[in-house]
Each structure stands twice: as structure tokens, then as C-alpha cells.
Structure 1
Amino acid sequence: MNSYDVAVIGSGPGGYVAAIRCAQLGMKTAIIEKYSTLGGTCLNVGCIPSKALLDSSHHYEDAIKHFEEHGIDISGEVKVNLEKMIARKQSVVDQTTGGIDFLMKKNKIDVYEGLGSFKDATHILIKGEKEEEIEAKNTIIATGSKPSSLPFINIDKERVITSTEALKLKEVPKHLIVIGGGVIGLELGQVYKRLGAEVSVVEYADRILPTMDAGVSKELNKVLKKQKFKINASHKVKSVERVGDDVIVKADNKKGEEVEFKGDYCLVSVGRRPYTDGLNAEAAGVKINDRGQVEVNDHLQTSASNIYAIGDVIKGAMLAHKAEEEGVFVAETLAGQKPHIDYNLIPGVVYTWPEVAAVGKTEAQLKEAGVEYKVGQFPMRALGRSRASMDLDGFVKVLADKTTDEILGVHMVGARAADMIAEAVVAMEYRASAEDVSRMSHAHPTFTEAIKEAALAATDDRALHV
């Protein structure tokens, strides 16, 4: 039987990063993955493939809608080859997962393919082509999450689908009904909207992106409506029925009236649930709460002192970069270091176009906490860079403490917001004031000038370009 200092169950961004950091710190490390490729949901059926399709569909949309205005004349019909688009997406996935294989070899991490389950707190059974058992002084549970559904929905994976199936459709839907106006639904909805589908979003809350700042939600709602999305907020879905090649969704609107949606595909994107199936956690003394999450303390330690858990399987936002930070945190804790994570400073991103990104507190959260704050907001359309690229939608909003001027939250909608949010994270990590950021030189012309201008607006309302 092979013995290890650390065994990691699950090879998503949290798991494989935890394994690498453990190996870097001199621990003999193993990683266990039940699928044939490493990388978990994110690399195989999540972040990476969805961004590949978003980029491909964006190119297509630019070609049919914007090239002429840029002085690019395309003669002949511009057509979508969905099969080739999906194949390119898969090649991106294959390259990325192959890169994880390389990193495991480079860091001398033993990889086991099979379902890992606890025999007890220090022994793990691995059921793959053969059954093996390993011993681990410490274990990190990084088993991630799976798409959630509603109890009355039968996901047949053909017409009623999850994000996994939406990444490999054989045809562009005529009418895609998206249940859930969160990140996954809006991103994949935009992919197929660009390719020619009619898209109807049905959201239970009173707005899309209900967990983000209301201003951001309102702005993206406006932009998506301009893109001909049909957005139906405050709608409670009560039935989803497949009839031949059609899907009929019935929902009650906020007045209690029944509304019917008829499409040829229905994407169920109502969130994700922690995945611990087959883990046999109780054999190791690991507690799982009534929400299906592995319970952990502030050190990400479970009720079994030598077993830790990270990522989607524990509380908090289900984000790949959050899982990575937690993986490093546990590895360094095991090495006797004193790492830290500030969960308030983990950014959230929506990769629609325009992109949406945020870090820190929303206005609603500050109001609820009784914090007095000031707001600086700057429209993207006032930037020279935005006019040059024809990306005029969106804004940057800076929330700062009314007394100290410390930045408490940054929320943005716009081109490259996913990349720009890092500036806000750095500023807030070092507890910068709005004035600090407003006095930093930002290259011109760039999208990031909007951050400087919003910081100026928060500092005595002195934005320069509005």
C-alpha cells in the first residue's frame, strides 16, 4: 500500500492547485480523480469551454454586425459551422487538461483514476479499473459541485439540458428557454443568441444576477434587452414538459398569472450543489450539513482533524479562483505557515459581453450594515478607448467609506471588466482610498481609465471627463 503525506480527492482548480502547492512544500502527494481527464468541472465542462464558445460566438457576431462599420467588407454569406466551433472548444479543453497532466508529472504527484472513498480517516479506497487502497496522513476533499435542478424537472439531456449538454449541442436552438438568470444561464444564453437562437430567460428573483449589486443588474438587463433577450423576472417555474421536440415551461408571474413558454431546448441553470456522492465521509468522521456541504472551521478543517475541504463542496461562492486560494491555504497550513484568505476580496465575474465584475460590498450590503458610504460612477461611453472599439455600454462604480474614503466595493459592467477588476482587488487588499486610486496614472487610452474616473467621482465628485 502506498503512503502519502497528503491525498487530494478531486482534480478541479482547487484540488490540482492544492496538490501542486503541497508538492512544492515537500509533501509526498497523491491526487484522485474519477474521470479520465484532470481539471474538474471548470476545465472540462465549465469555465474554459464556456469561454471558448463565448469567444467564438463573439467573433461571429462581430463579423455579421460590426465589421462593415469598421470598414471590413466580407463578400458572401457568413455562416456558423457549429460542429467546428464545438470541436475548437474541445481542443482548448484538451490542451488545458493536458497541461494539468504535465504539472502533475513535473511536481511528482501520483495520479489515481477512480472514485475515491474513505475507508477510515487515514485510508482511501479507489475504485477504477482496479480497486486500490492508499494511506494518507492528511486528506483534502475537493470534490466540487454538480448542476442543481428543480424537483419536478426531468433533465433528459437532449431537450431539457444542463450547462454540460449546452456546451456540445449539435444544432443552434430556434428558441432556447433558460431557467435561471444567473451567471451560467446568461453566458450560455448569449452564446446561442449570437448564433441565431431566440432566448427567453425565466428568473425567480425580481432581477437577473440577483446576488450582485442592483445597479450592475439593471445595466446588464438593459444591454441584454437591446440584444433582443427576452427577460422574465419574478417568474416562478412550476412545470417543464417535453412534447416531442418541443419543451413547454409554465410559470407564475408576480401577479400570480400563469405564463407559458414554448421552445425547442430548455437550459436548467438554477445553480449548483456540492458533490459528495460516493465519498463515504461518515467513515472518516467527516460531517456534512443539511445543505450537502462539508462542514469546516476557519482553517478549512473538517470534523476529522487530519481532513480538510475546499472549493464548491464547502460554504461560500462557487468560484474556481476561490477554490484555488483555499487549496493553497490548506497546503501552507499543513506546512506550518500562516496563510490568510479575505473572502470579501474574491472577485466575481460574468463573461457576457459586456462583461460584469465586482469585488467587495454592494450598496445593499452597506446599507444593511449601517455603513455610511459615497458613490463614484463613470460611464464607459465617456472613454476614448470605448469609442474606438465601439464598446460603449456599462460603467464603473466605486463605493467608498464616507469618513475615511477607504474603498469598500467596486462594481463594473463593460468591455474587459473581467481583467480590470484585478486593479480593484489590489487596491482593496492594501486598503486604498478612492483618492489613492484617483491619483495613480492610468495609461491613455484604456478601459481602466474608467476606474480612475469613478474614484475621482467618489472623491469630491471631480471626475474629469463627464
Structure 2
Amino acid sequence: MKTETCKLLIIGAGPGGYVCGIRAGQLGIDTIVIEAEKPGGTCLNVGCIPSKALIHAADEFARVRGFTGENALGISAKAPQINLARTVAWKDGIVKRLTGGVASLLKKARTRYVNGQARIIDGKTVEVSTSEGPTRISCEHLVIATGSKPLELPSLPFGGKVISSTEALDLQEVPNRLTIVGGGYIGLEIGTAIAKLGAEVTVVEFADRILPQYDAELTRPVAARLKELGIQLHLSTRAKGLSEDESALLAEGPNGYLEIPSDKVLVTVGRAPVTQGFGLTELGLTMNGSFLAIDDHCATSMRGVYAIGDVTGDPMLAHRAMAQGVIVAEHIAGQSSVWDKRAVPAVCFTDPEIVTVGALPNDIEGSKTSVFPFAANGRSMTMERSDGFVRVVFDPENELVLGLHAVGFGVSEMSGEFALALEMGATLTDIADTIHAHPTLGETIQESVLKAQSRALHI
């Protein structure tokens, strides 16, 4: 059996694993990254990037289709068509370039990359099944970065007509009728895109409203847009399984049983950490529910073993995993790097988009909120998308900004300013007295804090 040694061994080349590997290489740490599939993990291959590619294609298609009838802009166009197989091929090209880029960045950092299935022997030893045979790797430090996978419902196991987000992003043709089980961000992002491509989309959600992880004020504009797109919502409804001939989804709601005709059923009820099948349980690490418990250095209960990303729990976000990867690499290099982040942005790429950073209204006793609508913003009007608003949560005693949120067209690009404001401990005056370019959507951030100070200019 081939053997190798290294100081740092990382299992998983998703956003957390590959960033940890790159940073470790930059710091001169002898590092190996193991990945059973392609580099980039869920995010680059079957998650963040391909879903945004599909959303972009759907938006472009819907925009052109909107010009086939009367419109305020006076633009006329013939009825468009879409070749979804070609769209998916374009998406795959983007994924291929990005995953190839990850491999190049690891090589540039002098971090070794091993493609194969890992199995943990102990906290210092991992055996990898590769195309060239087994390799045993010994290390000083081990990082678990195995990510997560779509959660499966016992009544709707994946296969045939029942698909996960992975298969939804690889469809070769638009289904006539798509039913989505789960009204969270994954289901609504994909469902909105497929509806814009011409499918009849129905959403079945067990909670009494969509996007239950966000407050109702933020989700209201999204619900209104879903109605405009013709997406049917069945709230407070439980999916029971497929009909006997598998032509429909059976569900039970407030008004009794439902039979929803479906060509495809997309199940998006959450994600589960990947902790089984590679020997992790043999280490006997302390768990936090189904997730690995970690400290501020991302260290587990076993000395020399770390965990980052989705296997460590919520929020299951690629940028959180990346930040954790950097902390682990720098900690192993002897730097005083710990998890002390005040802000982890969460972005929902629905239509309109949602961004939340920091405290929500009523999270902190005594806090106050200020809201500025996009309907009062010139840039929004010129883009024909003035639904939504920007909201600031603040401490009225010292004007410290506690949270920033937005729902509207293109607000995902505001997440950086939101996070920066909280990390730097910005006050209302800090933001209010910072010149924001005109005409931009970003002016609404300044206007929201001006309103909080009772000196709003444009409302």
C-alpha cells in the first residue's frame, strides 16, 4: 500500500475544505486535501453556482417573454423559446471552469490534492481508495469538511419522479408540472426559476407561511411575487407521498386531502450533515445533535481533529465554511485566529432577493427599527423593480447598528456593506454621514438610517 505523510489532512474539498487547504499552503503548512468527487463541493458543483446560473437564465427568458405584449418600455419581441439542455450545458461549463480553478489554486499554494474516497482509521490516519489503489496518509492534524446532503423524506424517497435539488439543477427539459415539497429558500429559488421557464409550479409547505426562517415582513414581497408568477401555495400542509400510479403528490392540508398532479416532485425540506460512511463515528467525537461540536478554533473533542462547514451545524453557508477554514489553517500555523465574527450574512436568491445580517426586530430588548422603501428610490424605479425595502435595527441609546436587512431586486449585493457595518461597530451616524453614490440602490441604506435619526431626505 502506498503511504504518505503531512502535517494537515483535510477530508472534503468544498468551500471550507479547499479554502482551508489554500490558506494552509500559503502559510507553509504541508497539506493534503482529499475529495471523493470534484473539487468545489456542493456549492460549486450542485448548489450555489449552478442554481444562480439557472436563476439568471430564467430571469433572462422571462424578461424577453415580457416584451411579447404591451409594456411600458415600448419594446416588442417575438415569443422566445428555451433549449434547457443547452442552458444546462452552459451552466456545466461555468462549473467546470470554477472547479478547475479550485484545483489550480490548491496547486499554486503547494497543497496536494488526492481524488478518492477517504476512510478514517484513527485521529492521525486516513486510508484513501483511489483509481490507482489504496493510499494510507498519516497526519498531525485532521480536518473534517465533508459538508451536507439533501434531506430525504421517508414517504418520498429520492428516485424516479421524486428529485432533490441536485437533479433539479440538471433537468434537460422543463417539466409541465413541478411540485415542490418545502417552502424554504432552496425550493423557492429553484421553483421561481422553473416557473419563469414556463412550468406550472406548486409549493407544499408544512409551516403556515413560506420561508419560515425569515420574519414575515421580509417574506411578504416574495409571496406577492410568487402569486404574480402563478405559483400555487399550499401552506400548513403535509406531503404524504405519491399516488398509486405516481402521477400526483398526495398531501393533507387545512381543508382535507389534496391530490396535486405532478410530472416531477422536488423535495427541499433541509440538508443533513455527512457524518456517515467514512469512519468518523469510530472517533467518538462529541456531537451537538446530529452535528459535530466545535470550539472557537473549530476544534472537536479530540485533540488535533477539527471540523468546519455544514457538519458543524447552522448556518449552513459556504461563506461561513470558508471563514472557518481560514481560522483552522491560521490556528495550526500558530496564529491567534478564533471565531469572533459578529455578522454572517444570509442571502435568499428568490424574486425579490432577501438579505439579513445581525439582529432581527425584537431580538434585542429596547431596540428600534427604521424602514425605507425601494418605491422611494430613483434607481429602483428606472429598473421597474421598486418592491421591497431596507431595514435597520439599532440601539436608540447609543445608535449602534444591530442588524441590517433588505428585500428587493439585487439586494444580495448589499450584503457586504451590511456585514462590514456590523463588524466595524458602525453607528447610525457612521452610515448616514457616508456619501452613497446616486442613483444607486445603496442609497436606501443611507436613507434608512437618516429616517431613524428623524432627518430623512427622500420620504
TM-score scaled by length of structure 2: 0.95
Q: Give secondary structure in 2 for the equivalent of 1:89.
A: helix
Aligned equivalent of 2:330: 332
Partners of 1:335 and 1:387 lie apart in 2 by 51
Q: For residue 375 of structure 2, what is the aligned residue in structure 1?
A: 381
Report the Cα distance in structure 1 between the residues aligned to 2:67 and 2:7, rounded to whole angstroms. Answer: 56
* Contact kept? 1:146, 1:275, Cα under 8 Å: yes
Tell me what 2:95 maps to: 93
SS, match of residue 399 in structure 2: coil
What percentage of aligned pairs have identical amino acids? 39
Unaligned runs of 5+ in 2: none
- Contact 1:375-1:399 at 8 Å conserved across structures: yes
Q: Deviations over 1:56-83 (max 9, x none)?
A: 1111111111585434433x43111111
Could you say which residue in structure 1 is the equivalent of 2:227? 225
- Is residue 57 of structure 2 the alignment partner of residue 56 of structure 1? yes
User: Once the 2 structures are TM-superposed, how far is the Cα of residue 141 of structure 1 from its aligned partner?
Assistant: 0.5
Query: Equivalents in 1 of 2:46, 2:62: separation in Å?
Result: 23
Alignment of 1:127-138 (within 5 A): 127-129=129-131, 130-138=133-141
In 2, distance between residues paired with 1:363 and 1:48? 31
Stretch of structure 1 that moved more, 167-176 or 178-187: 167-176
CA contact 2:361–2:368 (8 Å) conserved in 1 = no
Question: Conserved in 2, the CA contact under 8 Å of 1:379 and 1:395?
Answer: yes
Please say if residues 174 and 197 of structure 2, whose CA atoms lie closer than 8 Å, have aligned partners that are also in contact: yes
Q: Which residue type is aligned with residue 387 of structure 2? A: D
Deviation at 1:304, TM superposition (A): 1.1
Please list the CA deviations of residues 148-202 of structure 1 after superposition, one character each: whole Å capped at 9, or x if unmatched: 022221221x311100000111221212111111110011001100000111111
Q: Superposed, which structure 2 residues align to 1:155-166 within 5 Å?
A: 155-156=158-159, 158-166=160-168
CA contact (8 A) 2:297 2:338 kept: no
Contact 1:375–1:457 under 8 Å retained in 2: no
Distance 2:142 2:330 in 1: 14
- How far residue 234 of structure 1 moved from its aligned partner, in angstroms, is 1.7
Q: Which residue identity does 1:144 align to in structure 2?
A: G
1:465 and 2:441 aligned: no
Matched, 1:215 2:214: no
Aligned to 1:361: 359
Q: Does 1:443 align with 2:437?
A: yes
Match of 1:5 in 2: 7
In 1, Cα distance between equivalents of 2:373 and 2:154: 42
Residues 341 and 287 of structure 1, relative CA distance in 2, 3 Å threshold: closer
Counterpart of 2:40, as a letter, is G
Contact between 1:140 and 1:308, CA under 8 Å: does it hold in 2?
yes
- Residue 242 of structure 1 deviates from its aligned partner by 6.2
Q: Distance in 1 between matches of 2:244 and 2:49?
A: 30
What is aligned with 2:397?
403
Amino acid at match of 1:465: H
> 1:52-131 to 2 correspondence within 5 Å?
52-66=53-67, 69-74=72-77, 76-129=78-131, 130-131=133-134
Secondary structure of the structure 1 residue equivalent to 2:306 = strand
Partner of 2:427: 433
Counterpart for residue 316 of structure 2: 318
**What secondary structure, in the 3-state scheme, does the structure 2 residue paired with 1:365 have?**
coil
Q: CA deviation at 1:463?
A: 2.2
Query: What residue number does 1:46 align with?
Result: 47
Q: Which residue of 2 aligns with 1:392?
A: 386
187, 190, 199: which one aligns with 2:189: 187
Is it true that 1:268 corresponds to 2:262 in the alignment?
A: no
Structure 1 window deviating more from structure 2 (399-408 vs 305-314): it is 399-408
User: How far apart, CA to CA, are the structure 2 residues paired with 1:427 and 1:383?
Assistant: 21
After TM superposition, the score normalised by the length of structure 1 is 0.94
Contact 2:353 2:410 in 1 (8 A): yes
Equivalent residue for 1:202, pick from 201, 204, 220: 204
The count of residues paired between Structure 1 and Structure 2 equals 454
Determine the C-alpha separation between the residues in 1 that align with 2:234 and 2:391.
26
Hey, what's the Cα distance between the residues in 1 that align with 2:217 and 2:340?
Answer: 24
Match of 2:145 in 1: 142
| Residues 12 and 242 of structure 1: CA distance in aligned 2, closer, same or farther (over 3 Å) | farther
**Aligned residues: CA RMSD:** 1.6
Work out the CA distance in 2 between the residues paired with 1:418 and 1:384: 19
Correspondence for 1:292 = 290
- Compared CA separation, residues 241 and 10, structure 1 to 2 (3 A): farther
SS of 2:363 mapped into structure 1: helix
